[in-house]
Amino acid sequence: MDFLKEIERRRTFGIISHPDAGKTTLTEKLLLFGGAIQEAGAVKNNKIKKGATSDFMEIERQRGISVATSVLAFIYKDKKINILDTPGHKDFAEDTFRTLTAVDSVIVVIDVAKGVEPQTEKLVEVCRMRSIPMLVFINKLDREGKDAFDLLDEVEQKLGLRVTPMSFPIGMGYDFKGIYNIWEKKLNLFSGDNKTSISEGVEFSDLSNPELDKIIGETAADTLREEIELIDEVYPSFNQEEYLEGKLQPVFFGSALNNFGVKELLEAFIEIAPSPQPKKAEERLVDSKEEKLTGFVFKIHANMDPKHRDRLAFIKIVSGTFKRNAPYLHVRTGKKVKFSSPNAFFAERKEIVEESFPGDIVGIHDTGNFKIGDTLTEGEALNFKGIPSFSPEHFRYVNNADPMKSKQLYKGLDQLMDEGVAQLFTLDMNGRRVVGTVGALQYEVIQYRLEHEYGAKCTYENLAAHKACWVEPENPKSDEFIDFKRVKQRYLAKDKQGQLVFLADSEFTIQMTQNKYPSVKLHFTSEFKK
């Protein structure tokens, strides 16, 4: 029974948004409410030299953006909450896509002034494809922004969601008075000085009560009554089943920076959000309540502590109990492995854990044995789906800037590519290395980390490639495939797994190639071998 109770009390979720919508700030405040930290770190404020807890890489502190997903866990009201804070910047989208394979639900953060932005649309699309339950938090209400109803319309239209407001703002920007919590029928009044403390709501179940006029003023009270009436008529009432199936999205309003509306979000979240869900493997559906352990690697991070060249593989436990020092099967290699010091996370603080349950994220010290997507089981050969490599959009040659350090450079590139920071291609013709990334900012991160973590320097040279296409011939010995390889040899490379890749220079080239060589299939993700 204890095992089932442990599953029931876990909530594993990701926070996604466009850059600057306040995602990292929201994560900080959730930790503050959970009692996990005493004071929230200002993410961008240089006066306070305290960085955000979830931004632990040196480059993140310097730039004020999150470039890698970090894992944070805390207990709130006897629920074990695992947050995966993802990078918002589109250049690091691949890390976010992979993280979404490890969460059971998602909180989408939207900036009240900017509304729905392109990166949010992309990420929500991925959640919709996987039917991940989503909860929307509209942030920065203490600033001037769009009308609340306009925002709800925008979320419905641009993101294709069906929303139901669970709280509603009273005024906005300079007139912002507070929030009416529809879910708990409470009134929360805003005062701008509660940035690091927590404000309590006032029970207020009957809005027709004249007391309301005294508390927030007659005009605001009348407006609120009209708006709540309109919400009752226009929007569906909350239905937990529909939310869990990804068909209905509750919306909360607040200001993460001012700690406002965050508690309401957290209280509702722990009540309605799903505990660990079954996950589809290629072989079968794995239920989280199964007693035998299954889990998969969704992220690898090298040098979490630069003093000890350590590499951590992040494993999401899907079913069973993960025990320290117990032997597990590493499915891809067929070897049995034991872990003497598995870690639980609190940003860069790690603690050794004796056992972990479904929904938990465990960090395992890795000497280079693990790859993203690897599965651990108690003996069954299972492979979890959904962690593909996407075709990069930018390509550059990597040159070694310090011939004395070539060993460090190649080791660094190798390890960074295992993390999924970018993809490495080796040209068949001359063995030159090409790094492909989703966004140009990745190149800076790679350069910075190679120098500061591996002591190696590199320079880049542009390569005029448009897309990486993974090549799948119907018959590897056919004349057509041999001709394809001869004609395209300048553009052929191998990825890190040794798969053949065609670096096409334009959309036109791809079409022409497909017409000329119909038996040679070109794929835009690496996950095509079913």
* 256 and 285 in a common domain: no
Per-residue pLDDT at 26: 82
Is residue 233 in some structural domain?
Answer: yes
Domain of 484: which CATH number? 3.30.70.3280
Q: What is the CATH number of the domain that holds 70?
A: 3.40.50.300
Q: Is residue 312 part of a domain?
A: yes
Question: Domain check: are 79 and 174 in the same one?
Answer: yes
The pLDDT value given to residue 71? 74
Encoded tokens for 420: 């999924």
Q: Is the pLDDT of residue 508 over 50?
A: yes
pLDDT of residue 86: 67
Of 44-53, 242-251, 318-327, 420-429, which gets the smallest average pLDDT? 44-53
Cβ atoms of 172 and 220 within 8 Å: the answer is: no
Residues 322 and 362 in one domain: yes
Mean pLDDT of all residues belonging to the chain: 79
C-alpha to C-alpha distance for 226 and 87, rounded to whole angstroms: 39
Would you say residue 397 has pLDDT above 70? yes
Q: Are residues 345 and 471 part of one domain?
A: no
**b/e string for 144-158 if b means 16 or more Cβ within 10 A?**
ebbebeebbeebbee
Which range has the worst mean pLDDT, 283-287, 300-304, 391-395, 526-530? Answer: 526-530
Asked if residue 470 has pLDDT above 60, the reply is yes
Q: How confident is the model at residue 250 (pLDDT cuts 50, 70, 90)?
A: very high
> In the predicted model, is pLDDT for residue 49 greater than 70?
no
| 512 backbone dihedrals φ, ψ, rounded to 5° | -60, -45
Amino acid 425: pLDDT: 92
pTM beyond 0.75, yes or no = no
Residues in the chain: 530
* Residue listed under structure tokens 């006897």: 78
Q: Clarify whether residues 264 and 139 are in a common domain.
A: yes
* C-alpha span between 64 and 24 (Å, rounded): 10
Task: Classify residue 388: in a domain, yes or no.
Answer: no
The answer as to whether 383 is a domain residue is: no
The Cα–Cα gap between 119 and 96 comes to 11
pLDDT score, position 136: 92
Q: DSSP readout, 26-55?
A: HHHHHHHHTTS-SSPPPSS-TTS----TT-
Q: How many helices (H) and strands (E) does the chain have?
A: 14, 31
Burial class (CB in 10 A: 0-12, 13-18, 19+), 182: buried
Give, in degrees to the nearest 5, the angle at Cα 287 between 282 and 290: 120
Widest distance between CA atoms in the chain: 86
Domain's final residue, options 344, 377, 410: 377
* Same-domain check for residues 249 and 306: no
Q: Higher confidence at residue 54 or residue 270? A: 270
pLDDT at 492 over 90: yes
Task: Give the end of a domain, one of 210, 239, 272.
Answer: 272
Print the SS3 string covering 62-124: HHCCCCCCEEEEEEECCEEEEEEECCCCHHHHHHHHHHCCCCCEEEEEEECCCECCHHHHHHH
> With bands split at pLDDT 50, 70 and 90, how would you rate the model's confidence at 69?
very low
Mean pLDDT, rounded, for 195-224: 69
* Model confidence band, residue 390 (pLDDT cutoffs 50, 70, 90): low
Distance between CA atoms of residues 131 and 127, nearest Å:
6
Q: pLDDT at residue 224 above 80?
A: yes
Q: Are 330 and 478 contained in the same domain?
A: no
Neighbours of 441 (CB within 10 A): 18
Q: Which of 106, 82, 94 is nearest to 31 (CA)?
A: 82
Residue-wise pLDDT tens digits, 95-134: 667 777 888 899 998 888 888 887 788 778 878 877 889 9
Hunting for tokens 């970018």 — which residue is that?
422
Amino acid of residue 149: F
Position 49 in a domain: yes
Locate 348 and state its tokens: 């860069």
What range does the domain containing 323 cover?
279-377
Q: 286 or 208: which carries more pLDDT confidence?
A: 286
d(CA 466, CA 330) in angstroms, rounded, equals: 36
Q: How many CB atoms lie within 10 A of CB 160?
A: 11
pLDDT reading at 18 higher than 60:
yes
Q: Which of 219, 245, 272 is the last residue of a domain?
A: 272
Pull the structure tokens for residue 188. Answer: 């929360």
Examine the domain organization and report whether 355 and 414 are in the same domain: no
Using pLDDT thresholds of 50, 70 and 90, give the confidence band for residue 371: confident
The single residue listed with the structure tokens 């989703």 is 438
Q: Are residues 201 and 292 in the same domain?
A: no
| Highest mean pLDDT: which range of 33-42, 178-187, 220-229, 363-372 | 220-229
Asked if residue 243 has pLDDT above 60, the reply is yes
* Res. 361: pLDDT tops 90: no
Tokens 């009348």: give the residue. Answer: 222
3 state DSSP class of 261 = coil
Max mean pLDDT among 161-175, 411-425, 476-490 falls in: 476-490
Average pLDDT of 258-265? 80
Q: Clarify whether residues 366 and 400 are in a common domain.
A: no
368 lies in a domain?
A: yes
- Please determine, for residue 480, whether its predicted confidence score (pLDDT) is greater than 80: yes
Pairing status of strand 70-76 against strand 79-85: antiparallel
Report pLDDT for 217: 78
**Residue at 389 is within a domain:** no
Q: Is the confidence at residue 287, as pLDDT, over 60?
A: yes
Determine the pLDDT at residue 68: 44
CA distance 470 to 499: 7
283 is a domain residue: yes
Do 43 and 67 lie in a common domain?
yes
**Pairing assessment for the beta strands 492-494 and 500-504 based on DSSP bridges:** antiparallel
Looking at the fold, whether 360 and 451 belong to one and the same domain comes out as no
What share of the chain has pLDDT > 70, as a percent? Answer: 82
Q: What is the mean pLDDT of residues 197-219?
A: 68
Closest listed residue to residue 101, CA positions, set 66, 68, 126: 126
- Report how many domains make up the chain: 3
352 and 340 Cβ atoms separated by less than 8 Å: no
